[in-house]
Chains A and B, each alone.
Chain A
Amino acid sequence: MTAPTDYAHLEDQFQARIDAEEKIEPKDWMPDKYRKTLIRQISQHAHSEIVGMLPEGNWVTRAPSLRRKVALLAKVQDEAGHGLYLYGAAETLGAERDDLLDELHSGNAKYSSIFNYPTLSWADIGAIGWLVDGAAIMNQVPLCRCSYGPYARAMVRVCKEESFHQRQGYEIMLTLARGTEAQKKMAQDALNRWWWPSLMMFGPNDAESKHTAQSMAWKIKRFTNDELRQRFVDITAPQAEFLGLTIPDEHLKYNEETGHYDFGPINWDEFWQVVSGEGPCNRQRLKARRRAHEEGQWVRDAALAHAEKRRQRQAAKNNQKVA
């Protein structure tokens, strides 16, 4: 047992290390809440990468060319890798992989609400790469400097890979935008549907975000939701213009005074509805994840049984040599 005053002392020391930009590693002392916050955030992040494969996987077999198909396959495979780096990072904090997956499959754990929207046309694959991966990059780059070592290192790896994701998406949009009238319409339609959910990816407004202050003090977060959202809009608006597409926001306008784009109000009712499980594809996504896990059970069991059999065979051989 740690007496309360000792705990407060340890917490002060911990905060001093954070303030000095020291990294925290798995076996270091850390406040329970820091550990819990990280497990929650990292596992949600991992779930998002894994569930995020589903909307795009939907188009792998229908990609319009082999070039697009290998790129999409590689991207989806990267997302699987991102999920694995992140589950690994969560496990360094004492979380069990199985418990994390149970939380996802039971619907208790959250993942990014953007993946509960459907991919209706090929242009959606372009819009996802450009906007969704673009927003993810905006969130993830500052996480490379997160105070928790394993999370920061996983993010460095992820960020290196994300840039191809965004570029392949934008290239799809560019091709469509310069194509036939029908293709251009398809691109515009995808932008219309993915724009607002992408802005919601940064989470609630700062005033509504209850975890932000503590996460900033612990240097898990480096920028607030609204700061990152603004940066995303500032960077993305000219990219849309270059495509000759229109962002579906009548209030979007460059503000000479602030040097930023002003934009219209976000429909937070829709956001909370999707977060609470009532988005267009929530049930479908969870069902697909559960099914994949359940149908993979015999493979996991068989691999374990096979490994055990080989171990025993090897042990028997070694015994013979000794005898």
Chain B
Amino acid sequence: MSEKKNWPLWEIFIRSKNGLNHKHVGSLHAADAKMAIENARDVYTRRMEGVSIWVVESEHITASSPNQSESLFDPANDKVYRHPTFYNLPDEVKHM
């Protein structure tokens, strides 16, 4: 393999309008953060899809592993009492 140095990969997050979260839309290559934002503008918001852009260099993202997803998410699995439907109230009780 050649010793070519390449533009790093960035993950792109877009807020489609104020009041909504930034949402991951994809990735792209750029030399630095400023260029990543400019490229994200051209690649992901050509039709007014966004009002705000976050860029994060992909290597800075730590992700949970799907292999551990059982142990990670199991604790929430048996806690039905965290949901409103777990509680029995008579029909006569309104607005609850």
Chain A positions within 8 Å of B, measured between CB atoms, are: 25, 27-29, 74, 77-78, 81, 84-85, 88-89, 91-92, 97-98, 150, 153-154, 157, 161, 300, 303-304, 306-307, 310-311
CB-defined contacts of B26 to chain A, threshold 8 Å: 85, 88-89, 150, 153-154, 157
Asked whether A27 and B9 contact (CB < 8 A) given A88-B26, A304-B31, the answer is: no
Question: Of B7, B25, B27, B66, which one neighbours A303 at CB under 8 angstroms?
Answer: B7
Asked whether A304 and B7 contact (CB < 8 A) given A81-B43, A81-B46, the answer is: yes
Size of interface on B: residues with Cβ below 8 Å to A? 21
CA distance A28 to B64 in the complex (A): 11
CA distance A150 to B11 in the complex (A): 13
CB-defined contacts of B28 to chain A, threshold 8 Å: 84, 88
8 smallest beta-carbon distances between A and B, as pairs: A307-B32, A303-B31, A307-B31, A88-B27, A88-B26, A28-B66, A304-B31, A27-B66
Is B65's beta carbon under 8 Å from chain A? yes
Contacts A85-B26, A88-B27 aside, 11 further interface pairs with beta carbons under 8 A come to A25-B66, A27-B63, A27-B65, A28-B66, A91-B9, A97-B29, A98-B6, A157-B26, A300-B6, A306-B32, A311-B32
A-B pair count, CB < 8 Å, reads 53
CA distance A150 to B26 in the complex (A): 8
CB-defined contacts of A88 to chain B, threshold 8 Å: 26-28
Question: Of B27, B35, B63, B65, which one neighbours A91 at CB under 8 angstroms?
Answer: B27
A98-B63 in contact (CB<8A): no
CA distance A287 to B94 in the complex (A): 74
B41 to chain A minimum Cβ distance, whole angstroms, is 11
Is B82's beta carbon under 8 Å from chain A? no
CB-defined contacts of B66 to chain A, threshold 8 Å: 25, 27-29
Is B95's beta carbon under 8 Å from chain A? no
B39 to chain A minimum Cβ distance, whole angstroms, is 8
CB-defined contacts of A307 to chain B, threshold 8 Å: 31-32, 35
CA distance A85 to B67 in the complex (A): 27
Is B4's beta carbon under 8 Å from chain A? yes
B38 to chain A minimum Cβ distance, whole angstroms, is 11
In the assembled complex, 13 residue pairs joining A and B whose CB atoms fall closer than 8 Å, in A order, are A27-B63, A27-B65, A29-B66, A74-B46, A81-B46, A85-B26, A88-B26, A88-B28, A92-B27, A157-B25, A304-B5, A306-B31, A306-B32
CB-defined contacts of A153 to chain B, threshold 8 Å: 26
- Kindly identify, within residues 62 to 93 of chain B, every residue whose CB is under 8 Å from any CB belonging to chain A: 63, 65-67
B32-A77 in contact (CB<8A): no
A157 to chain B minimum Cβ distance, whole angstroms, is 8
CB-defined contacts of A157 to chain B, threshold 8 Å: 25-26
CB-defined contacts of B35 to chain A, threshold 8 Å: 303, 307
CA distance A29 to B25 in the complex (A): 22
Mask of B10-46 contacts with A, CB within 8 angstroms, 1/0: 0000000000000001111101100100000011001
Give the residue name and chain of the B residue nearest to A160 (CB). B47
B43-A84 in contact (CB<8A): yes
B19 to chain A minimum Cβ distance, whole angstroms, is 22
A307 to chain B minimum Cβ distance, whole angstroms, is 4
CA distance A74 to B6 in the complex (A): 28
CB-defined contacts of A311 to chain B, threshold 8 Å: 32
A229 to chain B minimum Cβ distance, whole angstroms, is 30
CA distance A303 to B35 in the complex (A): 9
Give the residue name and chain of the A residue nearest to B11 (CB). A88
Give the residue name and chain of the A residue nearest to B12 (CB). A88
Give the residue name and chain of the B residue nearest to A102 (CB). B2
CA distance A89 to B66 in the complex (A): 19
CB-defined contacts of B4 to chain A, threshold 8 Å: 98
B93 to chain A minimum Cβ distance, whole angstroms, is 39
CB-defined contacts of B9 to chain A, threshold 8 Å: 91
CB-defined contacts of B29 to chain A, threshold 8 Å: 97
